[in-house]
Amino acid sequence: MAESTITEASLRAALTERLKATHVEIQDMSGGCGQAFTSLIVSSEFAGKNSLKRHRLVNAALKDEIAQIHAWSAKCQTPEEYDKEMAATGGNDKPPLDGTEGGKVAGVSE
């Protein structure tokens, strides 16, 4: 990858292009230093795949980027799963923030 710094925008662009993602939410949980990200990825490429296979697909698509960051988590859904969840949650499509304090990795200063 040409960029030396991984950003929310660069990850979003890579996932959209490489996985034909129809919806991508990325959140930098590192306070802006680009070392920890959580994501919600919606792609028809996930259809028929279990959670492990979906995560392997994402990790393969972001192999170079993931090698440059410290922490990465992804919630992977098909468009149908995403639509069903949006209907059930009233549109809360934010990435999961499990293991964070206020959306930031514990112990990371801004």
Residue 105 lies in a domain: no
State which residues form the domain around 18: 8-97
pLDDT score of 103: 57
Query: Which residues, in sequence order, are bridge partners of residue 28?
Result: 37
Residue 110 lies in a domain: no
pLDDT in tens, 50-78: 999 999 999 999 999 999 999 999 999 99
Residue 102 lies in a domain: no
**Residue whose tokens read 């090698």:** 67
d(CA 107, CA 31): 10
Percentage of the chain modeled with pLDDT above 70: 79
User: Quick check: 27 pLDDT over 60?
Assistant: yes
How many structural domains comprise the chain?
1
d(CA 13, CA 48): 24
Residue 67 lies in a domain: yes
Q: Both tokens of residue 87?
A: 């209907």
Residue 106 lies in a domain: no
Give pTM, 2 decimals. Answer: 0.78
Q: Both tokens of residue 40?
A: 């919600």
Q: What is the CATH number of the domain that holds 34?
A: 3.30.300.90
